[in-house]
A = this chain, B = another copy of it.
Amino acid sequence: MYELLREELHARRGRFTTPHGVVQTPVFMNVGTQAAIKGALSAEDLERVGCQIELSNTYHLHVRPGDSLIRDRGGLHRFMTWDKPILTDSGGFQIFSLAELRSIKEEGVTFHSHVDGRKIFMGPEESMRIQANLGSDIAMAFDECCKIPSPYEYVKASCERTTRWLARCKKALAAYTSEDEAVNPGQLLFGINQGAVFADLRVEHMKQIAELDLPGYAIGGLAVGETWQEMYDTIEIVEEHMPKDRPRYLMGVGTPGNIIEGVARGVDFFDCVMPARNGRHGHLFTWNGIINIKNEKYLRDDTPIDPSCGCPVCRRYSKAYLRHLFKAEEMLAMRLSVAHNLYFYNDLLKRIRESLDEGRFGAIRDEFSKKLDKRI
C-alpha cells in the first residue's frame, strides 16, 4: 500500500493507497476533531485548501454524536460529506489528556466523558469497534500516551501493555472489517510507538510492534512537553527500526520547522491543530515567518497576507480587511485565517514533495526550517 518513490538522505517521497484514494507523502493531515474543521471551514473549503486527508477523533465522536449514529448514517465520509481519505485517532491521547478520573487496567481504561460526565470504558476492542463504525481509512491503535516526564519503570510497563493492546487491536479490527455490514472493509491499522524520551524503551517497543507487520507506524507521545531537540533525537533513534516499506506518522507535530525537520528524519505523515488554532488568534503563516494580523501596522495594508501565496484568501482579501474583521469580532476573521493557515500547511508539504521529486529538499530545509517558525 505504501510505495517509496524517492529518497534524499533520510527524507522520503512516497504514496500511500487507501480505500478512498491515494495520498501523496509527505503529507499534512487537516484536523476535524468533531467531524468539522474549527473556524467554520466546510468540506468544500477543505478541498480548496488542498487537503489530501482529514483526521477526526474517536473519543470526541464516540461521546458526541456517537459512533453508532455515524455508522447508521453510512459512516464518517458520508456524514461529513468528505469523500477522500480519513484517519481516526484511537481515543487514547484524548482519554489521557481530556477525560477525568481515569482508571487503567489490562482490559482498558475507565473514564468520565468531558461533555456529560458519563462513565465510559474503552479498551483496544472498543476503540476498534468505534473506528470501524466511523469507517475511517486509517484506524490508529489504542495506546497509552505517557506524560513527559514520567518514571522509567512506569513507561516500560506502559509500553509492554501498549504492545499487548496492539495485538488485540489487530485481531479486533480484522474481525470487524470482515463483518458483512462493515462500513469500510478496507480500513487499515497503524501501530503507535511509545516510550517517552527513553531511547532503549522507544527502540525495544518499535521492534516489538514492527513484528506485527501493520500497514503503517506512528511515533506517538511526542510534542507533549519535551524539547525540540529531544523530539528530533527520539525520531532519529526510532526511525532506524521502522520498516522502510511502511509509512511513518509523527503524531501531533508541529510547526512548519518541526515538519521540515520531521521529513528530514524520514517521517511521512503529520497532523497538528496549530494552523487552525493559531489562525483563530490571528497568527498567520507566511513564507517569511509568522505575522500577527491584529498588529496596528496592518491597519492600512492593502496587500494580501502573503503575496506569494495562492490561497483563496490571499487572492481576494487585504490585510487591512482581515485586521478589521478581527477588531470587529466578526466570525469571518477566523474562517479566512484558518483557511489561509491550512492552505499554507498543505502548500508547504506540496513544496516539500516537489523538492524531493527534484532532489533539492536539502535546499528547502536550509532556507525554511528556521525562517517559517519566526514571528516577524
Hey, which chain B residues are within 8 Å of A310, CB to CB? none
A331 within 8 A of B: yes
Smallest distance from the beta carbon of A37 to chain B beta carbons, Å? 7
Hey, which chain B residues are within 8 Å of A302, CB to CB? 73
A334 within 8 A of B: yes
Which residue of chain B has its CB nearest to the CB of A41?
Answer: B332
A325-B36 contact, Cβ under 8 Å, with A79-B320, A316-B43, A335-B335: yes
Which residue of chain B has its CB nearest to the CB of A69?
Answer: B300
A321 within 8 A of B: yes
Hey, which chain B residues are within 8 Å of A336, CB to CB? 42
A299 within 8 A of B: yes
A140 within 8 A of B: no
A330 within 8 A of B: yes
Query: A interface, how many residues as a size bin?
Result: 35 or more
Hey, which chain B residues are within 8 Å of A72, CB to CB? 300
Hey, which chain B residues are within 8 Å of A73, CB to CB? 300, 302, 318, 320-321
In the assembled complex, the Cα of A41 lies from the Cα of B40 at a distance in Å of: 9
A291 within 8 A of B: no
- A6-46 vs B, CB cutoff 8 Å, 1 = contact: the mask equals 00000000000000000000000000001111111111100
A317 within 8 A of B: yes
Smallest distance from the beta carbon of A135 to chain B beta carbons, Å? 15
A241 within 8 A of B: no
A-B pairs, 9 with minimum CB distance? A40-B331, A40-B40, A36-B330, A40-B335, A34-B328, A65-B324, A36-B332, A40-B332, A81-B316
Residues of A within 8 A of B (CB): 34-44, 60, 64-65, 69, 72-73, 79-81, 299-300, 302, 312, 316-318, 320-321, 323-325, 327-328, 330-332, 334-336
